[in-house]
């Protein structure tokens, strides 16, 4: 069993080298960088980051395995974007702390994730539409609606995962936000709206927090993540609809949509 799995990995890498040289070059460079980071983190005894590097290396080989297992061709453009996305999220975002030090880094990745997830959902349904053995045919508007909903579902599941990690492992995936106004009925006795404005300091158990405002515990971050996912999915839906409606071969969809293999590798 282990030998078979190892052979699959070797074949997947060989497939990349043979078929998509440009994506393989990007894969090789990023893989080398991840290995260097893993070594440095191990020497610094940051074993959690070492695990993150190992996870990144595993994620890197998934596109190749998917191609071999399901007999589909993933465009080199989509592969390169996936590799860079994984590297940006795991290595730059988590290990290099870009999520905190680089403004809107998290929102940028969530927007791209919404776009890519919509592309994947679009491709899955489009492959079913093109399968002559299945009586499955969606109109362009319904196909892009399915891809849009698929992307939003992925985004929601990701937020569920972040919330679960925060509750169980005590992480801070759902980043807090500082707000200066509170609108709530929880502070009133009759159910009316209570509004507290211009909050510039908050004390907890007699200790003054080092922030200029009230600390929102993840809600704003979660809603912003879902909103930018919505934008990314919506943008792809527009391109997808134009591709299906007008058969636009120069459309960006043609560079991001996996297709069924026309040959046996």
Torsions phi, psi for 101 (to 5 deg):
-85, -25
Determine, yes or no, domain membership for 228: yes
Look at residue 147 in the predicted model and tell me its pLDDT. Answer: 93
Smallest CA-to-CA distance from 119 within 261, 260, 259, 256 is with 256
- Can you tell me the distance from the alpha carbon of 92 to that of 207, in angstroms, rounded to the nearest whole number? 34
Smallest CA-to-CA distance from 165 within 208, 218, 211, 119 is with 218
Look at residue 136 in the predicted model and tell me its pLDDT. Answer: 61
The verdict on 203 and 121 lying in the same domain is: no
Determine, yes or no, domain membership for 265: no
Question: Residue 208 in contact with residue 201, Cβ under 8 Å?
Answer: yes
The verdict on 51 and 82 lying in the same domain is: yes
| Residues linked to residue 207 through DSSP beta bridges, in sequence order | 204
**Residue 247 burial by Cβ neighbours in a 10 Å radius (0-12, 13-18, 19+):** exposed
Q: What sign results for the dihedral spanned by CA atoms 30, 171, 164, 168?
A: positive
- Can you tell me the distance from the alpha carbon of 159 to that of 57, in angstroms, rounded to the nearest whole number? 23
Smallest CA-to-CA distance from 90 within 59, 63, 64 is with 59
- Can you tell me the distance from the alpha carbon of 109 to that of 93, in angstroms, rounded to the nearest whole number? 9
Per the structure, the complete domain to which residue 17 belongs is given by: 2-174+218-260
The verdict on 92 and 126 lying in the same domain is: yes
Smallest CA-to-CA distance from 213 within 176, 161, 188 is with 176
Look at residue 10 in the predicted model and tell me its pLDDT. Answer: 67
pTM for this entry: 0.84
8-state DSSP, 259: E
Determine, yes or no, domain membership for 40: yes
The verdict on 113 and 9 lying in the same domain is: yes
The verdict on 194 and 90 lying in the same domain is: no
Determine, yes or no, domain membership for 100: yes
Smallest CA-to-CA distance from 215 within 190, 182, 191, 188 is with 182
The verdict on 68 and 194 lying in the same domain is: no
Look at residue 163 in the predicted model and tell me its pLDDT. Answer: 92
The verdict on 54 and 67 lying in the same domain is: yes
The verdict on 96 and 194 lying in the same domain is: no
In 131-179, where does DSSP find H-type helix? 140-169
The domain tally of the chain equals: 2
Query: Tens-of-pLDDT digits for all 265 residues of the chain?
Result: 555 656 665 665 666 556 677 888 898 999 999 999 999 999 999 998 999 999 999 999 888 888 877 778 888 889 899 999 999 999 999 899 998 899 999 999 999 999 999 999 998 887 777 665 655 667 888 889 999 999 999 999 999 998 998 899 887 888 888 899 988 898 888 888 889 899 998 888 988 989 898 888 888 999 999 999 999 999 999 999 988 888 766 678 888 888 777 655 4
The verdict on 102 and 200 lying in the same domain is: no
Look at residue 72 in the predicted model and tell me its pLDDT. Answer: 82
Look at residue 56 in the predicted model and tell me its pLDDT. Answer: 94
The verdict on 61 and 183 lying in the same domain is: no
Look at residue 15 in the predicted model and tell me its pLDDT. Answer: 61
154-164 residue pLDDT tens:
999 999 998 99
Look at residue 204 in the predicted model and tell me its pLDDT. Answer: 87
- Can you tell me the distance from the alpha carbon of 18 to that of 41, in angstroms, rounded to the nearest whole number? 33
Count the helices and strands in the chain (H runs, E runs): 8, 8
Question: Residue 63 in contact with residue 74, Cβ under 8 Å?
Answer: yes
The verdict on 125 and 199 lying in the same domain is: no
The verdict on 38 and 66 lying in the same domain is: yes
Determine, yes or no, domain membership for 201: yes
- Can you tell me the distance from the alpha carbon of 126 to that of 144, in angstroms, rounded to the nearest whole number? 10
């Amino acid at each position: 069993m282990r030998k078979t799995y190892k052979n699959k990995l070797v074949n997947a890498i060989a497939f990349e080298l043979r078929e998509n040289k440009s994506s393989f070059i990007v894969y090789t460079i990023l893989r080398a960088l991840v290995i260097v980071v893993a070594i440095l983190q191990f020497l610094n005894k940051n074993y959690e980051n070492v695990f993150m590097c190992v996870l990144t290396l595993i994620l890197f080989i998934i596109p190749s395995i998917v191609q071999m297992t399901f007999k589909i061709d993933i465009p080199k453009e989509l592969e390169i974007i996936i590799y860079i996305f994984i590297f940006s999220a795991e290595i730059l975002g988590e290990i290099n702390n870009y999520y905190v030090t680089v403004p809107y880094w998290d929102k940028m990745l969530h927007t791209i994730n919404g776009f890519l997830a919509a592309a994947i959902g679009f491709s899955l349904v489009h492959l079913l539409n093109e399968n002559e053995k299945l009586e499955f045919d969606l109109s362009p508007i319904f196909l892009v609606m399915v891809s849009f909903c698929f992307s939003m579902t992925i985004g929601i599941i990701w937020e569920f995962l972040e919330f679960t990690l925060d509750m169980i492992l005590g992480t801070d995936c759902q980043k807090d936000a500082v707000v200066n106004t509170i609108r709530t009925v929880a502070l009133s006795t009759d159910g009316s709206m209570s509004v507290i404005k211009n909050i510039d300091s908050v004390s907890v158990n007699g200790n003054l927090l080092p922030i200029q405002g009230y600390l929102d515990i993840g809600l704003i971050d979660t809603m912003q993540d879902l909103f930018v996912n919505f934008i990314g999915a919506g943008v792809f839906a527009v391109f997808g609809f134009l591709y299906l409606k007008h058969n636009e071969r120069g459309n960006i969809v043609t560079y991001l949509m996996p297709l069924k293999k026309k040959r046996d590798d």
